[in-house]
A and B are shown apart, each in its own frame.
Chain A
Amino acid sequence: MATTVTKPETLVGKRIRRLEDPRLITGAATYLDDIKVPGMHHACVVRSPHGAAIIRSIDTKAALALPGVAAVFTGADIKHLGPVPCAASLPGLRVPHHHLLAQDRVYFAGHPVAVVVATDRYIAQDAADLVEVDYEPLQAVTDPEKAIAPGAPAVHPEWADNVAFTFHQEGGDTAQAFLDADVVVRQRITSQRLIPTAMETRGVLAEWHSGEKSLTLRSSTQIPHLLRTLVAGILGMPENLLRVITPEVGGGFGSKLNVYAEEALMAFIAMKINKPVKWVESRRENFQCTIHGRGHVDYFELAAKRDGTMLGMRLKLIQDLGAYLQLLTPAIPTLSVLMMPGLYRFKNISADIVGVFTNAVPTDAYRGAGRPEATHGIERMVDILAAELRMDPVALRLKNFVGNDEFPYATPTGLAYDSGDYAKPLQQALETVDYDGLRREQVAARSAGKLMGIGISTYGEICAMGPSIALPAGGWESATVKVEPTGKVTVMTGASPHGQGEETTFAQIVADELGVAMGDVLVVHGDTAVVQYGIGTFGSRGTAVGGTAMYYALQTLKAKIRKFGAMMLESETVTLSGGFCTDEATGKSVSFAEMAVAAYHAKKLPPNTEPGLVATCFWEPPNFTFPFGAHIVVTDVDRETGDISIRRYVAVDDCGRIINPLIVAGQVHGGVAQGLGQALWEQAVYDDNGQLVTGELTDYALPKAHQMPWIEASHTETPSPTNPLGVKGVGEAGTIGCSPAVVNSVVDALSPLGVRHIDMPLTPEKIWNLIQKGGRA
């Protein structure tokens, strides 16, 4: 009846290969597009080819006449449905009504105009080509600075200035700090638009159950429960009749932390035609219509004393929002402001955000979400200040770090940094590269006419999103832990992962807590009919918030198991360890499985105890966590070609306690690759007509294997006091730490030419031109 319970070694902290991998390496995993259901139809979305246009008319007759076409829907059919939601709110925020399909006007290239449904995906595509839309093109604007200049075309005719909001935040006395300063450095710094590019595009499969009047919506999403609540709202259907299932998700990076028009559209269409409907995004659609990231133009000012003491920072932040506000669009730049002090002790900040509408797909959360932009700016400004003061950038950083004895540290942006030892990863990175030796080598290289650079970034993060007060829909996470009658353990987590390996790391924690084998633990996620509720996986929160919810559920469960042990051993003093309850006095013990059976058979129960072994915890974190680290990048720049080669990439990250070093290393490598992509290659380019020029993988430069340097990743471990696991989160660290280290390195290489800043991406063309012009941009 019961499983054999053996005492495993402690698994947390061990390099353990993942439990989810066997299905993924054999082709047996089930992603959205792998699912077929009887009677399934296929949808194809007709999209605007213009950046801005008036829709004069739509003719669907030819499409409808094609054999196999079941229906065509246009804006008029969905006008009564709710808008695509924006959950973020700011004072005075202008929220355009975001219909599921365009009404009389399109606002960006790719704007959905009609949906064709057919028995076959090829027929649906053919029919989509037959939908005739008569457009009157309008002048578009895609550059946020041009959009707020006088005379720019209005993206939304009702708001001529293209300003969705302005937002001011101030801490300390910045005016006084700038008066007290010996030195003020200023720089315009951009963080270009990026395309998240999960390898699996989005996809939706909606099934209407006419008998039950219920709907099953499968979607490749990071947030199944929020999607359910919000799509129910759009459709006006009872939430408990909508079930959202997240199959295997092929990457998200924030792009699937959203509610998209197609999710509600497919649900609506499945109900309308009483057939299951599948829509899978093409890569072109993914680039045109799934959210982009970044899109900042930032004007930084940093005030300091002559000895390098930083006094305060000012920032004017222009955020390219795109044409609409998606789920969190306007909230992302506010995270940049929170991050402004970085790891430094200065107490005065002042920030002004202007959120700008453009004729482009909305921006929203992409890996790091607001924090890479801020960190890039801060770390660039520190280097610019170091150059101005002729100080070593390491010495300047060390002089200004928050001290180890200052935690919890109150920032001028209202945060309380939880724990840290900011010099430690920097020292470790410096030793790894032999910093002093490198600087000597650089002197020799320069006298030989070579361009060699050493770049440093020391970054902080705001992770484990987050206390509920900081997130529109709550920042807690939930877990249910169930010991089955056979002693097997099932965990239901609201943190819906998409590559992070939570099925493994969560099983490691359960195995240690309950003393069961990892293989006896099943972690279930991504089904609203099974999992109680949840917020999802994003913002480096999976383990720090979701894992903690599970940890507390485990504690409740352990207390109950101990009661059964005490009853069975007829003892008051029992301990639960290694899968056994033991009476310390007699040495007698009962196994975990025996206690599980007793709890379900319930022939005899401990006093005031219910049968069964199930515990649920909804955990509200008291604070964010604040990971930190240091990245050092050594580059050589080719004078003849402008090509940058990365000689060393050293990343020392402190993400708190490490559950599985293999998975943590993978997160760092992947994060660095996305940071490097931004620093060197990637950029979403719109032309003046609003066409996305980088509309396919043929034109958008995703990092390839041979372009990536070897990443020398190591860690320091400063536990977070915010949660009992001591974890801080690692999903975004690599991305946040990377781009300023790379740009600092290349600017350092070109500094003999007088270069003090270069905007990303650092393409060979840009670098070559700088070299040709003797460093003048």
Chain B
Amino acid sequence: MKRTISLTINGTRYTDEVEPRLLFIHYLREVAGLTGPHIGCETSICGACTVMLDGKAVKSCTMFAVQADGRQAITIEGLAQNGKLDPLQEAFWNEHGLQCGFCTPGMIITARQLLTDNPHPTDQEIRHGLDGNLCRCTGYQHIVNAVRTAAKAGA
């Protein structure tokens, strides 16, 4: 009982037959081969699986691949343009906003959404905006610095 889905990921068209129960994160990682988004909890708490879907940051572990049919997704792999890092990626690098790096792809995508909604956030707004993404390494301080720096750079 497979279903055919067709969607755009990072500007590339994908058409695949999938089981209706296939989670979108598993589609991205196992079928499309995009292993940037990670699986950290399967309960939509940690946010490591966060990707953009039609311009909104979503947790791809708690939706099915079939729900992404006909839609446009951007993963961490699609954030840099023509080999140039997104200002948020640069800021995470410059400010040491990551250690083990496992939460980073989801964290950067969520930060992207945050700055789209609110280009000049306060530190408290940054912290609340990132509450759906857990990091066990950094204590968030350098992540907040990175998002603030990227915002100042007009990201």
Interface, chain A (partner B; CB < 8 A): 17-18, 20-22, 24-31, 33-34, 121-122, 197-201, 248-251, 253, 280, 282-283, 498-501, 662-663, 665-666, 669-674, 696-698, 702-706, 708, 710-711, 734
Indicate which residue in B100, B103, B138 contacts A498 across the interface (CB closer than 8 Å): B100
Residue pair B137, A122 in contact (C-beta under 8 Å)? no
Residue pair A199, B144 in contact (C-beta under 8 Å)? no
Residue pair B134, A704 in contact (C-beta under 8 Å)? yes
Given A26-B76, A499-B101, A666-B138, 6 further pairs, Cβ under 8 A: A198-B136, A199-B102, A283-B43, A704-B131, A705-B127, A734-B139
* A200-B102, A250-B100, A250-B102 known; A697+B43 contact, CB < 8 A: yes
CB distance from A202 to the nearest CB of B (A): 12
How far, in angstroms, from A575 to B49 measured CA to CA in the complex?
A: 54
Residue pair A250, B38 in contact (C-beta under 8 Å)? yes
Indicate which residue in B43, B48, B98 contacts A25 across the interface (CB closer than 8 Å): B98
Candidate in A33, A248, A706 with the most chain B CB atoms within 10 angstroms? A706
Residues of A contacting B142 in the complex (Cβ-Cβ under 8 angstroms)? 665-666, 669
How far, in angstroms, from A121 to B23 measured CA to CA in the complex?
A: 12
Indicate which residue in B22, B92, B141 contacts A708 across the interface (CB closer than 8 Å): B141
Residue pair A17, B94 in contact (C-beta under 8 Å)? yes
21 contacts between A and B (CB under 8 A): A17-B96, A20-B101, A25-B76, A25-B93, A26-B76, A27-B75, A31-B38, A33-B38, A251-B102, A251-B136, A253-B136, A283-B43, A283-B46, A498-B100, A501-B99, A665-B96, A666-B138, A670-B136, A697-B134, A706-B131, A708-B140
Interface segment among B1-9, B29-37, B52-60, B65-73: the answer is: B29-37
Indicate which residue in B46, B127, B139 contacts A673 across the interface (CB closer than 8 Å): B139
How far, in angstroms, from A673 to B137 measured CA to CA in the complex?
A: 8
- Does B21 sit within 8 A of A, measured CB to CB? yes
How far, in angstroms, from A458 to B120 measured CA to CA in the complex?
A: 39
Residue pair B76, A283 in contact (C-beta under 8 Å)? no
Residue pair B93, A22 in contact (C-beta under 8 Å)? yes
Residue pair A669, B141 in contact (C-beta under 8 Å)? yes
Residues of B contacting A696 in the complex (Cβ-Cβ under 8 angstroms)? 41, 43, 45
Residues of B contacting A21 in the complex (Cβ-Cβ under 8 angstroms)? 92-93, 98, 101
Residue pair A673, B45 in contact (C-beta under 8 Å)? no
- Does B151 sit within 8 A of A, measured CB to CB? no
Indicate which residue in B37, B41, B75, B92 contacts A283 across the interface (CB closer than 8 Å): B41
- Does B40 sit within 8 A of A, measured CB to CB? yes
Residues of A contacting B115 in the complex (Cβ-Cβ under 8 angstroms)? none
Residues of A contacting B144 in the complex (Cβ-Cβ under 8 angstroms)? 705
Residues of B contacting A250 in the complex (Cβ-Cβ under 8 angstroms)? 38, 100-102
Indicate which residue in B36, B41, B138 contacts A27 across the interface (CB closer than 8 Å): B36
* A253-B136, A499-B137, A663-B96 known; A705+B102 contact, CB < 8 A: no
CB distance from B29 to the nearest CB of A (A): 8
Residue pair B127, A708 in contact (C-beta under 8 Å)? yes
Residue in chain B with minimal CB distance to A21: B93
Residue in chain B with minimal CB distance to A674: B136
How far, in angstroms, from A26 to B80 measured CA to CA in the complex?
A: 8
Residues of B contacting A201 in the complex (Cβ-Cβ under 8 angstroms)? 40
- Does B13 sit within 8 A of A, measured CB to CB? no
Residue pair A25, B108 in contact (C-beta under 8 Å)? yes
* A21-B92, A24-B104 known; A670+B99 contact, CB < 8 A: yes
Residues of A contacting B105 in the complex (Cβ-Cβ under 8 angstroms)? 27
Residues of B contacting A669 in the complex (Cβ-Cβ under 8 angstroms)? 138-142
List the 6 closest pairs (A to B, CB-CB), nearest first: A27-B36, A250-B102, A24-B101, A499-B100, A673-B139, A669-B139
* A25-B89, A670-B138 known; A705+B131 contact, CB < 8 A: yes
Residues of A contacting B137 in the complex (Cβ-Cβ under 8 angstroms)? 199, 251, 499, 666, 670
Residue pair A248, B101 in contact (C-beta under 8 Å)? yes
Residue pair B40, A200 in contact (C-beta under 8 Å)? yes
How far, in angstroms, from A666 to B26 measured CA to CA in the complex?
A: 32
Residue pair A666, B19 in contact (C-beta under 8 Å)? no
Residue in chain B with minimal CB distance to A250: B102
Residue pair A31, B102 in contact (C-beta under 8 Å)? yes
How far, in angstroms, from A460 to B45 measured CA to CA in the complex?
A: 35
Residue in chain B with minimal CB distance to A672: B139
Residue in chain A with minimal CB distance to B86: A25
CB distance from A719 to the nearest CB of B (A): 24
Residues of A contacting B48 in the complex (Cβ-Cβ under 8 angstroms)? 199
Residues of A contacting B100 in the complex (Cβ-Cβ under 8 angstroms)? 198-200, 248-251, 498-499
Indicate which residue in A24, A25, A711 contacts B141 across the interface (CB closer than 8 Å): A711
Candidate in A282, A500, A708, A710 with the most chain B CB atoms within 10 angstroms? A708
Residues of B contacting A22 in the complex (Cβ-Cβ under 8 angstroms)? 93
Residues of A contacting B46 in the complex (Cβ-Cβ under 8 angstroms)? 199, 283, 697
Residue pair A122, B139 in contact (C-beta under 8 Å)? no
Residues of B contacting A665 in the complex (Cβ-Cβ under 8 angstroms)? 96, 141-142
Residue in chain B with minimal CB distance to A27: B36
Residue pair A197, B136 in contact (C-beta under 8 Å)? yes
Residues of A contacting B36 in the complex (Cβ-Cβ under 8 angstroms)? 26-28
